[in-house]
Amino acid sequence: MKYLSILLFAFALTACSTTTSGISIESSNQNVVIGNSSLANRLSIERATVGHNNGLMKAGVPVTSKINSDLELQYRFYWYDGQGLEISGSDSPWRQFILHGKDTMTLQAMARSLEAKQYRIYIREANY
At 100, which CATH number? 2.60.40.3230
Contact 65, 123 (CB under 8 A): no
pTM over 0.75: yes
Type of residue numbered 123: I
* 5, pLDDT greater than 50: no
pLDDT digits 0-9 by tens, 65-94: 999 999 999 999 999 999 999 998 877 889
d(CA 67, CA 123): 17
User: The sheet that has 22-26: what strands, in order across it?
Assistant: 32-34, 22-26, 118-125, 71-80, 95-99
Mean per-residue pLDDT for 22-36?
A: 81
Q: What mean pLDDT, rounded, does the chain reach? A: 83
Q: How many residues does the chain have?
A: 128
pLDDT band at 24 (very low <50, low <70, confident <90, very high): confident
* 12, pLDDT greater than 80: no
Count of the separate structural domains present in the chain: 1
* 10, pLDDT greater than 50: no
Q: 1 Cβ partners below 8 Å, 6+ apart?
A: 83, 84
Mean per-residue pLDDT for 7-33?
A: 59
Domain extent, residue 92, equals 2-125
Contact 100, 70 (CB under 8 A): yes
